[in-house]
Amino acid sequence: MQPWSFIHITDIHVGSPRSFRYAPAWNENWQSAQQQMLDIQPDLLLIGGDIARDGLIHRFELENIKQDLDALPFPYHVIPGNMDIGNKKTQVAGPRRDDVSLNVQLEALEQFQEVFGALWWRTEHRNIRFSGFCDILINSGLPLEQDLWDWMEAQKVLPPEQHHVWLMHYALFVDTPEEPNFDIASKETYHDWYFGIDEPGRSRLYEVFKNTQADIVLSGHIHCRKYQQTDGIRFYKGPATSFPQWPDRWPDGDATLGFQHFNVTDDGIEYTFIPLNHVSSTKGYGPGGHPQPEERDYGLAWEK
C-alpha cells in the first residue's frame, strides 16, 4: 500500500475583531498551522471542535472559519466544541462561574448544523473508517441525544474496516475509564469535571468504541497533549493551536501548541506531533473565560 496520512487539529479558536474580545495571536497561530499542513499535504483533515472563539455567540465566526477550511486543497471533517455550541450539561454551578448558564443550547446546535452540516458522521478513506460525533450531547437529555445514541448503535453492526478512528471534543476520561464522576463544586476537581465525560454516558460510549473495533480515539478541549492506551484502543488527547492549558496535570502531559499527524502504512498508523513553527505573541483585547452577556462590551471591537 502506498503510505498516506491524515491530520488531527483541534481548539484553534479563530476569532474576529468584530467581537467583544479578540485574540489575533490565535488567528495567526492558525495561519501558521495552515501553512504547515499545506507543506504536509495530508489526504484529509480532522478538526476536533472549538473552531471559533465564540461560535456559540457569533454565527459570522463559524462562517469565517468555514471559508478558510473550504479553501484547503484537501477534504476536512469537523465536529463542534463547547465554544461552538455550549458546554456539557450540568445542574450545579462550579466554584468559578455559573456553569448552568453555559449548558449546550439547542439553538447553537441548529446554527452549527446550518453552517457545517451533520453533528455526527461516518466516512471511509482507503482502509480506515472515521467516525465523528457531538459528544457534548451525551448526558444532556436533549431530544437529539437519543438520535445520537440510535446512530451509535447502528455503527456496531457495520462490517469492520481495517482501522477505525473516532473523533470527539471532550476527553472520554481524564485518567481511566473507571474513574468516578468528579465534583463540579470542588475547586480541587472542577477542571477534572470540566474536561471529561460523566457517567453513565462515558461507559456507554466506551462500549461503543470497543464494539466498533476502534483503534484510535482523538479528543481536544484540554489543550494539553497526552497519550493513553486501554483495551487496545489508543487515546490521543490533542494539543491546541490557540493557547495551552493544564500543563501540569500529568507528568507526561505536553501543552506545546501544534497538531497531530498520522501516517498510514501496511504496518499500521504511525503518530507524529507537529509543533507550530511560529507561536504569535500579538496582543488583543477583551475578557477570557465564558463572559455573561452583560460583560460583553462591543465598544472594544476593532472593527464595527
Domains in the chain, please, with CATH?
4-300 (3.60.21.10)
Question: Which phi and psi angles does 149 have, rounded to 5°?
Answer: -65, -35
CA distances from 93 to 96, 180, 185, 190 (A): 8, 19, 7, 10
pLDDT above 90 for 42? yes
What angle (nearest 5°) sits at the alpha carbon of residue 194, between those of residues 208 and 141? 55
Residue 62's pLDDT band (cuts 50, 70, 90): very high
What mean pLDDT do residues 97-103 have?
A: 94
Q: What is the pLDDT of residues 205-244, one digit of tens each?
A: 999 999 999 999 999 999 999 999 999 999 999 999 999 9
pLDDT of residue 1: 79
What mean pLDDT do residues 90-97 have?
A: 91
What mean pLDDT do residues 173-200 have?
A: 97
What mean pLDDT do residues 8-19 have?
A: 98
pLDDT of residue 103: 97
pLDDT of residue 96: 83
Residue 187's CB is within 10 A of a number of other CB atoms, namely 10
Phi-psi map region of 259: left, alpha, beta (phi>0 left; psi -120 to 50 alpha) = beta
CA distances from 49 to 9, 60, 239 (A): 9, 16, 12
Angstrom distance (rounded) from CA 288 to CA 290: 7
> Is the separation of the CB atoms in 84 and 49 below 8 Å?
yes
Mean of the per-residue pLDDT values for the chain?
Answer: 97
pLDDT of residue 186: 96
Q: How far is CA 280 from the centre of its chain?
A: 21
Cell matching residue 93? 454551578
CA dihedral 33, 37, 43, 49 (to 10 degrees): 0
Angstrom distance (rounded) from CA 247 to CA 241: 14
pLDDT of residue 184: 97
CA distances from 99 to 88, 92, 137, 299 (A): 9, 7, 16, 26
Angstrom distance (rounded) from CA 248 to CA 225: 11
- Length of the chain equals 304
Angstrom distance (rounded) from CA 108 to CA 83: 10
pLDDT > 70 in the chain, percent: 100
What mean pLDDT do residues 72-80 have?
A: 98
> Is the separation of the CB atoms in 157 and 182 below 8 Å?
no
pLDDT above 90 for 304? no
Query: Model-level pTM greater than 0.95?
Result: yes
